[in-house]
Amino acid sequence: MKEGIHPKNYRLVVFKDMSNGHMFITRSTAASKETVKMDDGKEYPLIKLEISNTSHPFYTGKMKLVDTAGRVDKYMNRYKKHIEKNK
């Protein structure tokens, strides 16, 4: 490995899966403006994730659609006439 390319300011950070609320603590250099108080009574920086191994279909074995931006609804509304006509 090359010397001097890795950051030195690792700290404990909480990552939160926003689709199911699962939180875990790991070391990271990612910046965060939010904090969260954990069960151990300490306050940690919070990084929000759209999806993690606890909600991803590959790891859970369940085919679950995670649509936080409403893209499916936008598509269905836009092409509603065409979909109904083809039924």
Per-residue pLDDT of the chain (87 residues; tens, 9 = 90+): 788 888 888 999 999 998 888 999 999 999 999 999 999 999 999 999 988 878 776 667 776 555 556 777 777 777 777 777 666
Q: Which conformational region is residue 21 in: left (phi greater than 0), alpha (psi within -120 to 50 degrees), or beta?
A: left
Q: What is the pLDDT of residue 79?
A: 79
Q: What is the pLDDT of residue 25?
A: 95
DSSP assignment, residue 8? S
Q: What is the pLDDT of residue 69?
A: 62
Tell me how far CA of residue 18 lies from CA of 13, 23, 37, 40, 81, in angstroms: 16, 9, 16, 21, 33
Please report, for the chain, the start and end positions of each structural domain, with discontinuous segments joined by +.
11-62
Round to whole Å and give the CA distance between 79 and 70. 15
pTM of this structure: 0.63
Q: What is the pLDDT of residue 74?
A: 76
**Do 12 and 46 form a contact (C-beta atoms < 8 A)?**
no
